[in-house]
Structure 1
Amino acid sequence: MKLVGKLIKWHRNKQKITQEQLAEGICSMTQLSKIENGQVQVNEELLVEIANRLNIPEEKLVAPIDQEHYQMAEQLITAIHEYDIPTAQELEAKLVNKRHDLLHYDLDFLCLLARFGYMLLMKRLSEADQLYETIMNYDEIFEETAPYSFHKFIGDYLINKCLFFDAKSHLHKAERLLPDQEDPELYVLIAVANSHLENVLTSNQYARRALRIFQEKLYYSRIIECEIILASNYTFVNEYQQAKEQLERIESLIDHKFEKHSKVKINFHLSLINAMQNNYGEAIQLLKENLETDVNETELMHSRYLLAHTYYITDRFDEALELIETGRTLAQAHQLNYYLIKFKSLKLVIEKKSEDLVDFLNKSALPFFKVTGQAFDLRYYYQLLGYTLYNMKKYKRAAEVLMVADEQRRRFLEYNIDKK
């Protein structure tokens, strides 16, 4: 029962009760300090008195732990780490049928963490959002419950929120917790985070480490995931033809009926390449195909935004604005600030509201991308700000901003060329 002391301390601090106030008439302050730090065993009678004073259900501190229930939660977490969806679904269904009211804290927190990981695995992000708030409220407790799973799952969640810099921090903490073991799914997540941060070399290294393990296990769908990451990274170093050839090769190997998520990712990256090569018709066709695919809406946000942007480039403004409004509604529903910023910026561009756009870029977009670390977006929005200022005849300020954008581009190119 390793969490008892920490939870007592958490509730005491939350209620702004001193150790002296909690201990009065129950035990000495010294003993309470040892209880909170997990240094002594505590009898049930003492725990009941503490629970009553803190106004928490005594069962949370003293209830016996159902070992079958506990092992099932641990097995679910293992299945999530191994990306074993059938086993995870079977275990989650069994756990749902168990009573979860007034579980001992040790079991309760393990079950909550397992459920959070499961929602991420199944891309049920609205449910993951609700659990995330609880987990971060008790973050130090969840970290004590299962440190590796905590940091890996939080990193996965932040990737889904396009908060790649923070995601990478948690994922590397997870990596340091398993120095003598390999987890290819962790490597995939680190590769994805670094890809979006345009750390192409690092992304490729982790994707290849994961790929080697998946190839040894003949884990087909995960091999495809690694191949997509490696192919997409070519676009960041302007090797479009190589990226396109690899993506088309991967597409020819997959079963579109069962690999819908892979197909969506491939279509997106192919459409991005086509858009960057001014093949707008092909890009639009691929993106529209994606939006008709039966996958989670959050997986389609990249495609929805790129299609809106491509409509803007090709002067199809009404269609672009329609997509923007739908996209903003979905981004709001799924708490995706990344896309709220991108859709609003594009809307201001189309509506030619230059003053509003400059204000929004300075106060919202650029600060956001500085914090999240997305180099591509940071360069793009610096350029957008520079060109907007230039069109407003604010030439000096425009030149300063465009120099910053060029410096961002130069640093990225130097980093990736030097590391080849």
Structure 2
Amino acid sequence: METLVKNGLVYQAGKLTKMDILIVDGKIKALGTDLPSTAQTRIIDVQDKLVSPGLVDVHVHYRDPGFTYKETIESGSKAAAHGGYTTVCAMPNLDPVPDTPAQMQVMVKRNQEDGVVHVKQFSAITKGLKSEELVDYAGMKAAGAFAFSNDGVGVQTAGTMYQAMKAAKELNMAIVAHVEDNSLLFGGVMNAGKRAKELGLPGILGISESSQIARDLLLAKETGVHYHVCHVSTKESVELIRIAKAHGINVTCEVSPHHLLLCEDDIPGNDPYYKMNPPLRSSVDHQALIKGLLDGTIDMIATDHAPHSIDEKTGDMRHAAFGITGSETAFSLLYTKFVRTGIFKLEQLLDWMSINPAEKFNMSKAGMIMPGKPADLAIFDLGLEEEIKEENYLSKGVNTPFTGQHVYGVTYMTLVDGKIVYQKEEK
């Protein structure tokens, strides 16, 4: 099968260039202008739309198996394709937890069979996501694990994390950490700040995150492991990582779209759609995250796509589930809020959402448009304005406060291995 993507504004080799892309048998064959085609070539004329390497999300929750009323591999990956993602990395807080090689093999097979995009699978760091017994690290890698994470809970014991880091380092694998000291949570449901006091809700201290990062950074220095911090949210966390990088510690980190777009001041009331972990922090923290991206302390943007049922996100924040969806809205929201206003350059946003995550996690087949690479492409209509509507979500989860907002940078088409896996309906 031969496809020619014509007249695109292509992000390639760090530049935006008007060019065509020839795809043969799922791989990029050639780049340029006036590329040859035949009567059998499928022509996709994108008419000056942005053609990006497929977006890469190193942090999603697909709830399958165990919680398929929230999401499935199929629905989650379709949502990813809707957002322009072609590679995603699924967290292990499932039932059963993928904490044995046999379970990992099952997950890898199911991800390949049910996912419409490339779905990589995290192994748990410890059995059952508890801070006690390590999984079989060599066995999990051999079974196809992408990296190791207990996302959803922090590893509470320093000795356990140290042993995990040593085991991962021996295999040249990453430890991807949800950083949270449970002893500092005190039943909080939102940031411990002025808005929590106004709403009369229990707060989550920022130090519950930053204190565990400080511990882990010293352990990472000792072991030399690639240590990746999930969803940083406080100015102290950013500063700790900035200092660690300056000292040569092998640390990377991500920030989520919602922490870039919102702070605690934006929470309108006791609304579970604004309940997420880590919570929306102060305006000072919010600005520190933006600065951290711009100065290179924060390496990438990852959605932490966390779908829940409507019942789980209704009522009082004290009793609702933590989490927000993000796969379908991330690029358009960030493009609208930051690129169109001149805060970020388009090239920076694409680096943070595609190039950098692929590079930092050694994904040799993702994050670039080059001959010989898989034809994983995201095509965005930067000039089209559209309202985010619940009826258009492909995820089972609708738990996001961004529904109703007007955005630019709408996904026009997503290709995985040269196959169209999402195409915007013409109206």
TM-score, length-scaled by structure 2 = 0.28
Larger radius of gyration: 1
Higher relative contact order (CA 8 A, sep 6+): 2
For normalisation by structure 1, the TM-score amounts to: 0.28
Between structures 1 and 2, the one with greater helix share: 1
Greater per-residue strand proportion: 2
